[in-house]
Amino acid sequence: MKVTVIGSGYVGLIAALGFGIKNNKVICVDKNKEKIKNLKKGIPIIYEKELDNYLKKCIEDKKITFSTDIKKGIRESNIIFIAVGTPPLNNGEVDMTQVKEVIRDISKYINEYKVVVNKSTVPIGTQKYMKRMLNNEGISNEYFDVVSNPEFLREGKAFEDFFNTDRIVIGYDSEKAKGVMGKLYKNFNRKIVYTNPETAELIKYASNGFLATKISFINEIANLCDEIGGNVEDISYALGLDKRISPLFLNAGIGFGGSCFPKDTKALVKIGEKYGVDFNIIKSTINVNNKQRIIPIKKLLNYYKDISGKIISVLGLTFKPGTDDIRESPAIYIINELIKNKAKVKCYDPNVSKTIKDKYPQIEYCNNLYDTFTNSSCAIFCTEWEEFSKLDLFKLKAKMKEPLIIDGRNIFNYEHIKKAKIKYFAIGRGYI
């Protein structure tokens, strides 16, 4: 099928390549000339496993073209995916500027029937709003249908999730559009949930809200474990054995970050407010997370009382392993607190580029993992990068001034810590 994807961000680029790999003819449009220039040359513009391979394959097999020409993108395909950014506004609502711009472009260039598909995470009612907008721009209903098709992929596992998604959700209000979408997804062989557009839009928020709640729930259990001498990992394991609960997203730690859970939980509260529904659970999920991400600071101050002038190492800056994304990363909140408490911060991340250096010029960046521990009074681990779990703890200890580890992701085997005689605090491992 002929598919255009507008927006080459995370969701857009993965979807464009994913549909290319599934044998469609794809045009990926972005107004950012630099991005398109690089993509045309096969240069990945974001960090994602397998991206370079899929990009190369789609270009070689002529399954994808990259363009800044939105007119061509709209005219040459019969399915137009909108995957532009929907960042949060300061008040927690969603900034729809880019979606509106695309709708205006569609109304300008539309020449025959198109299915316009929304992949961005957007407020409930957006499908109807988009229809109204197109009508108001003079486009009558026989020229288009608007479908909601939210995306559930995770950064770092984007292609795996795109191709093997647990479900494809399609919110439609026309049989013609349903048929087109069903045909597009036929060779995915995944479960498809057909529903009305409002429900599809809400499924996305409900899904992220629920997963975030699962994390905050287990984090509160972990905090209790720390007080009673419990073991949160055993609790997660036992909970996960109950099929009604599922073992996934029950890893206790220093909370969730990234561009999705923090934004979507806030947006869900706002959506609830708009319709007179008080989202107490989601509000608590957010509150728990706000406190959880600075728990290492609480533990650190509890131990040292005063950390001014002490060198503190922060390991892992991204919001999770397998990405270079530091948006809403708990590590950033921890660094801010350390700076507030006048500590000297030394950082290391296997994947974060120099760009963060401009944001925090006062902190030291180490290119070598072991250099991060030199003269340090505490090493705070914020992300469970694989190389951290393989650290030589004796070497680490030898470099530190005072051997203290705060393990924000329960990375280390306690037997190894014990052997190396390192003071150790973790999350929900109160039995230690």
The string of DSSP letters for 288-323 reads: HHHHHTTHHHHHHHHHHS--TT-EEEEE--SSSTT-
The number of angstroms, rounded, from the C-alpha of 277 to the middle of its chain's C-alpha atoms is: 26
To ligand UGA, the closest distance from the beta carbon of 292 in angstroms equals 9
CA distances from 58 to 53, 69, 246 (A): 9, 19, 36
Catalytically annotated residues: 260
CA distances from 102 to 121, 123, 136 (A): 15, 16, 14
- Residues near 206 by beta carbon (within 8 Å), at least 6 away in sequence: 268
Q: Is 267 in the site for ligand UGA (CB under 6 A)?
A: no
Stretch that binds ligand UGA, among 20-28, 87-95, 167-175, 256-264 (CB under 6 A): 256-264
From residue 116 to residue 135, what is the string marking binding to ligand UGA with x (rule CB under 6 A)?
Answer: -----x--------------
270: which 2 tokens?
């706002």
CA–CA dist 155, 321 (Å, integer): 9
Stretch that binds ligand UGA, among 106-114, 138-146, 246-254, 301-309 (CB under 6 A): 246-254
- List the one residue from 257, 296, 408, 430 that touches ligand UGA (CB under 6 A): 257
To ligand UGA, the closest distance from the beta carbon of 96 in angstroms equals 17
Using CB under 6 A as the binding criterion, the count of chain residues that bind ligand UGA stands at 20
431: which 2 tokens?
């039995």
Within 147-186, the residues that bind ligand UGA by CB under 6 A are 151-155
- List the one residue from 217, 256, 388, 424 that touches ligand UGA (CB under 6 A): 256
Stretch that binds ligand UGA, among 51-59, 249-257, 332-340, 396-404 (CB under 6 A): 249-257
Nearer to ligand UGA, 261 or 412 (CB): 261
Within 306-365, the residues that bind ligand UGA by CB under 6 A are 319-320
Instruction: Report which secondary-structure segment, H or E, holds 407.
Output: strand 404-407
The answer to whether residues 231 and 206 touch, using CB atoms and an 8 Å cutoff, is no
Nearer to ligand UGA, 127 or 383 (CB): 383
Amino acid at 173: D
Q: Is 17 in the site for ligand UGA (CB under 6 A)?
A: no
Q: Which residues bind ligand UGA (CB under 6 A)?
A: 121, 151-155, 208, 211, 215, 249-251, 253, 256-258, 260-261, 319-320
